[in-house]
A and B are shown apart, each in its own frame.
Chain A
Amino acid sequence: DTAVSQTPKYLVTQMGNDKSIKCEQNLGHDTMYWYKQDSKKFLKIMFSYNNKELIINETVPNRFSPKSPDKAHLNLHINSLELGDSAVYFCASSHWEAKNTEAFFGQGTRLTVV
């Protein structure tokens, strides 16, 4: 009964490859996010989706493309992977409205580009 689940947990791939990370939440939240955590532990927002609509697209290379087939899923596709893409990627979800705004995180996907 995991609240926010990501797959895979670990991903090792070569430069130039294309890969996807999947995220699903069963909390009934209407907003989902992708965060990137680099080697220095900085947590930075990449994308935010509310009701399947892209709300935030921070300064992220267009090699990164999120896709939300429905409110419970937000996948992240990365094209032409580069060494600098190595990081831990966290999916998160929350309610949009102010009443209950806690953001729940997935367990993270550690991406290593070699």
Chain B
Amino acid sequence: GENVEQHPSTLSVQEGDSAVIKCTYSDSASNYFPWYKQELGKRPQLIIDIRSNVGEKKDQRIAVTLNKTAKHFSLHITETQPEDSAVYFCAARGPWGGRRALTFGSGTRLQVQP
């Protein structure tokens, strides 16, 4: 099955700096890569996603890049703010007929210092 690795496990940045989180996946058939943000005690919520036919996607301060050849994708947050502090999860999903659930990375705890 799919295996998703995520780095780093913790990341501390100063407010206003950029943050980058990286993930690799194992199954070249995976074609959908979402990123979820989970605040303390809350549910994971989608912040951005990218499909395998796109190399980059941007939404205000958040961008995601995908390198299909290398099988890795990254989340970039610019001008970080204290409210960006949370756990971020990358995930991958395949097109297989019977396997549509997301496989998640292990999470990155982002701390933005004011």
Contacts and interface: CB of A to CB of B under 8 A. Distances in A.
Interface of A: 31, 33, 40-45, 48, 50, 55-56, 90, 94, 96, 98, 101-108
A107 B46 contact: no
Given A102-B49, A106-B43, A45 B101 contact: yes
Nearest to B44: A105
* Size category of the binding interface on chain B: 20 to 34
B100 A50 contact: yes
Contacts of B100: 31, 48, 50, 55, 94, 96, 101
B8 to A, nearest CB: 14
B102 to A, nearest CB: 6
A43 B46 contact: no
A55 B43 contact: no
A68 to B, nearest CB: 15
A43 B43 contact: no
Secondary structure type dominating chain A contacts: strand
A104 B31 CA distance: 18
B64 interface: no
Nearest to B38: A41
A98 B97 CA distance: 11
Given A98-B32, A102-B49, A56 B44 contact: no
Contacts of A43: 44, 89, 104, 107
